[in-house]
């Protein structure tokens, strides 16, 4: 059975998720596998989630789940009670559905985001190199990645941006047209300002200036995006050189007033045209700045309307994505059922075949038969008899695997005397 332990933004704050992060990923996965708590293991860690995917025997499931939670608690020095309240556990089909939804961007904080697809693949590759992945999780993760790609190819779930930072840049680009030659100032080098600056670089903007209260941090961001740093107190002096300004700073009230901006932009006798996108909360630019001739001012309220519109569009696309996921999930379940049941079935058939051959040889010796045609008939008869007898049990075992009926699979192992390690993929 595939089991997923998931701690995510749904039930945990960012500080709590950070405390649940497992530093020694390799050591953690090796320990789970070497202790026999799981046959396979993949650890997936991002900013908004910590997840452990395991393959375990149904008969050992309850014990293994308790021990893994204990080990996680000890490893991160987190209270076991807090961990139990935070972690959601998915079993079998639920675990697969969660993984496919995750890779498709349906479980992300930002619906349809693309980064998670690469993170899912990277987690699998890391576990594969470590040797904690075998046939089951290899098939599951590769399928999840393929489903995620198909969702993004056949739907528009990731096309319309829903983050303020992305929309701010897209809106400005739409209004400017030729964006690459635009001289741009980003005020603020925090998370939002950094994303804006990086998006500008991706769009090919050549002239990017960064202004931040802490000049050193401004320098660091400027070096990342190939731009130049500006001292915070010199912002007004560089306004006349700019075509576009983004503001993403923390202020208690507007610090850029209309009269300041008017004087700054009209020093050369003619009013300089300026496009301003203010995503600060509260606003950094007084709303009267937008009334100045030649100045366009967009604030966070303008962007939120676009966010809601785009999010609504993504939610429509999410329904299409879910249909794709469930379609692919149904196909994969049947493939997975074979992976779970076939090793056991093969071992049963091997044992039965040994018995058939021994009993056939004994019968031939007793009869003293040497006629090749008769021997062929006897061999075919015994083979077909065994196949007919096993046909119904084999179909039942495959159906049990498909329905995640581990008790029937375990009973079959016991009935046919198959030890642990034989038919080891049965879980």
Show which residues are catalytic. Answer: 47
Contacts 24+ apart (CB under 8 A), 84-89: 85/11, 86/7, 86/11, 86/12, 86/16, 86/20, 87/5, 87/6, 87/7, 88/5, 88/6, 88/7, 88/8, 88/10, 88/11, 89/3, 89/4, 89/5, 89/6, 89/65
DSSP 8-state assignment for residue 426: -
* Rounded Cα distance, 40 and 46, in Å: 20
C-alpha distances in angstroms, 214 versus 200, 201, 282? 21, 22, 20
Beta carbons within 8 Å of 98's beta carbon, 6+ residues apart? 4, 6, 90, 107
DSSP 8-state assignment for residue 288: G
| Beta partners for residue 246, in sequence order | 186, 277
**H-type helices in 77-163, by residue range?**
80-86, 93-103, 115-130, 135-154
| Beta partners for residue 184, in sequence order | 208, 244
* The token pair that represents 55 in the structure block: 């393959």
* The token pair that represents 141 in the structure block: 């993760």
CB 249 within 8 A of CB 214: no
* Rounded Cα distance, 220 and 197, in Å: 12
* Rounded Cα distance, 239 and 2, in Å: 58
Tell me the CB-side half-sphere exposure of residue 403, using CA atoms within 13 A: 10
Beta carbons within 8 Å of 164's beta carbon, 6+ residues apart? 192, 279, 300, 303, 304, 307
CB 56 within 8 A of CB 132: no
Burial of 316 (0-12, 13-18, 19+ CB in 10 A): exposed
């Amino acid at each position: 059975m595939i089991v997923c332990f998931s701690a995510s933004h749904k039930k945990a704050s960012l500080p709590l998720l950070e405390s649940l992060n497992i530093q020694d990923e390799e050591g953690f996965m090796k320990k789970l596998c070497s202790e026999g708590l799981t046959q396979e293991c993949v650890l997936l860690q991002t900013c908004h989630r910590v997840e452990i995917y395991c393959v375990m025997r149904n008969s050992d499931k309850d014990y293994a789940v308790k021990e893994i939670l204990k080990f996680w608690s000890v490893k991160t020095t987190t209270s076991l009670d807090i961990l139990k309240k935070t972690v959601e556990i998915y079993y079998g089909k639920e675990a697969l559905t969660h993984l496919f939804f995750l890779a498709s961007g349906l479980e992300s904080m930002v619906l349809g985001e693309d980064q998670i697809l690469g993170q899912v693949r990277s987690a699998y590759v890391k576990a594969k190199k470590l040797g904690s992945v075998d046939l089951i999780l290899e098939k599951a993760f590769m399928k999840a990645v393929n489903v995620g790609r198909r969702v993004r190819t056949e739907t528009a779930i990731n096309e319309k941006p829903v983050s303020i930072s992305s929309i701010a840049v897209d809106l400005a680009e739409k209004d400017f047209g030729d964006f690459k030659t635009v001289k741009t100032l980003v005020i603020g080098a925090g998370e939002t300002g950094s994303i804006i600056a990086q998006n500008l670089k991706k769009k090919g903007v050549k002239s990017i200036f960064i202004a931040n209260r802490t000049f050193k941090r401004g320098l660091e961001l400027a070096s990342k995006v190939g731009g130049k740093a500006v001292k915070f107190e010199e912002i007004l002096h560089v306004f006349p050189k700019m075509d576009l300004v983004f503001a993403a700073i923390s202020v208690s009230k507007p610090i850029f007033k209309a009269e300041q901006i008017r004087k700054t932009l009209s020093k050369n006798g003619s009013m300089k045209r300026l496009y301003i996108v203010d995503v600060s909360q509260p606003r950094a630019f007084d709303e009267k700045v937008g009334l100045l001739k030649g100045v366009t001012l967009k604030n966070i309220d303008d962007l939120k309307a676009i966010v809601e519109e785009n999010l609504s569009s993504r939610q429509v696309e999410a329904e299409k994505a879910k249909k794709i996921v469930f379609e692919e999930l149904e196909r994969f379940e049947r493939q997975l059922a074979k992976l779970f049941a076939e090793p056991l079935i093969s071992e049963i058939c091997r044992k039965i075949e040994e018995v058939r051959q021994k009993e056939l040889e004994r019968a031939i010796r007793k009869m003293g038969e040497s006629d090749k045609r008769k021997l062929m008939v006897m061999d075919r008869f015994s083979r077909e008899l065994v196949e007919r007898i096993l046909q119904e049990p084999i179909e039942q075992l495959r159906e049990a695997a498909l329905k995640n009926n581990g008790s029937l699979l375990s009973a079959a192992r016991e009935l046919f005397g198959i030890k642990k390690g034989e038919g080891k993929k049965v879980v």
